[in-house]
Amino acid sequence: MRNITSKILVVVLFCTATFSGLYAQGIAFNHDSFSAAVKAAAQERKLVFMDCYTSWCGPCKMLARDVFTNDTVGDFFNKHFVCVKVDMEKEDGPELARRFQVRAYPTLLFINSDDMNVAYRLTGGRRGTQWLVEAGEKALDPSSNLIGLAEAYAKNKQDTVIVAKYLSCLSETSSSVLLDSVLSEYLQNATVVNKCSEATWKMLERYVKDPYSSWFEYLYSHASDFAAVVGPERVGKKLFDTYYYAVMGFIKRKRIPENQFPRSQFDKLFALLKDYKGRDADFFRAEMTMVECVQCSDYKRMMDELDECERRGILSSAETRFYFVWLNLTYLCESDDASIISRGLKWAETIHPLMSGDQMEKAWQSMVQKLKNAKIRK
């Protein structure tokens, strides 16, 4: 009797496991083509969920293995969407990639089967599952998806709540071209009420990333008005952050061929910094001058600028002083003037006491040796 009971228990457990496997398979990608999925979605009055992948894409494989197989994800997506996987490099894939502007993998699209408009999109893979369910919920909600928000925006392009929500959706879905267009249109036609409102400031604070856009020009030209609304500290921080990342970008680009150097951006940033009076203004201008010196191989001017920075006390902190001097002296070995290199070696000695740690010591030793070797060659 005990053996019979054990056998029955084994059979029950086997069947339970088998049926659990049958009904816990995650997202059901049941269609072998996009057109078949669209046809099924039209009949079922659902959106199409398309996984745009390639065979070589690591994050695509991670999604297929760890996310699409999740029970919760599968239950939600199988109920609300017709799902299809398409290799973007095979059969209809390249044409679909062009049609839906798929430029990175994985890209996940939620598509209206009636007019082929994209309701929502995500680019890139990530771990966990809740993010995908939340994306699906947004795709289903006209007040949160691209289609519904575009319609709401078209009806009232100065409603700051709608504009802010539409911009946020465009940002989340990596729709950068349309985001540029919508924010630019909003600013160009801003009403008196909206022109320097807190809502408008929040848009600029979030989406202005560099000092070259018309958005930054708008922020800059209305800085005092925005300061009266949100406070000078907040406006000052945004200006500082924008200039800081722009200047750091040029420092990383030192010594590149002139035909690849973003000259127009450099000149525009330099012109803006001439009028900037906020935090680290003098240091930013000194950094830009050094970039110009290196780019033009004007090493005498470089050393003169270092002396001027010293005279004016621009290099305040020890760490700032070390890296500013060290970074620029590393290019001095290209000079063909032994007297200029000698000036550089004297400057190198002034930052030696500022070092802390083996990494700084090695960087300093390498730079000094290059200068000494260059001087011998001259």
pLDDT tens column, 161-189: 999 999 999 999 988 889 999 999 999 99
Residues paired with 49 in a beta bridge: 83, 110
pLDDT score for 259: 85
Question: Residue 27 in 3-state DSSP?
Answer: coil
pLDDT score for 147: 95
Does pLDDT of 11 surpass 50? no
**pLDDT > 90 fraction of the chain, expressed in percent and rounded:** 68
Domain spanning 34-129: CATH superfamily: Glutaredoxin (3.40.30.10)
Which tops the pLDDT comparison, 356 or 346?
A: 346
What is the rounded average pLDDT of the residues 358-372? 87
pLDDT score for 253: 63
pLDDT tens column, 247-262: 999 987 667 788 889 9
pLDDT score for 336: 86
Which tops the pLDDT comparison, 17 or 65?
A: 65
Distance of CA 349 to the CA centre of its chain: 40
**pLDDT > 70 fraction of the chain, expressed in percent and rounded:** 93
The band of 149, judged by pLDDT with boundaries at 50, 70 and 90, is very high
Contact assessment for residue 153 and residue 133, using Cβ atoms and an 8 Å cutoff: no
pLDDT score for 378: 60
Contact assessment for residue 188 and residue 199, using Cβ atoms and an 8 Å cutoff: no
Residue-range domain boundaries for the chain: 34-129
Q: Which two tokens stand for residue 363?
A: 């960087």
Task: With residue 304 as reference, give the H or E element that holds it.
Answer: helix 299-312
Which tops the pLDDT comparison, 285 or 377?
A: 285
Look at residues 322, 328, 233, 260 and name the one whose alpha carbon lies nearest to residue 288: 328
At which residue do the structure tokens 């070995």 appear?
A: 333
What is the rounded average pLDDT of the residues 277-297? 92
Rg (CA), the chain: 30
Does pLDDT of 4 surpass 60? no
* Exposure class string for 253-276: b at 16+ Cβ within 10 A, else e: ebeeeeeebeeeebebbbebbeeb
Does pLDDT of 8 surpass 50? no
The band of 125, judged by pLDDT with boundaries at 50, 70 and 90, is confident
The band of 14, judged by pLDDT with boundaries at 50, 70 and 90, is very low
The band of 24, judged by pLDDT with boundaries at 50, 70 and 90, is very low
CA distance 204 to 218: 9
CA distance 167 to 144: 11
Which tops the pLDDT comparison, 17 or 79?
A: 79
Task: With residue 207 as reference, give the H or E element that holds it.
Answer: helix 198-207
What is the rounded average pLDDT of the residues 101-105? 92
Does pLDDT of 316 surpass 90? no
Q: What is the pTM of this model?
A: 0.80
pLDDT score for 6: 46
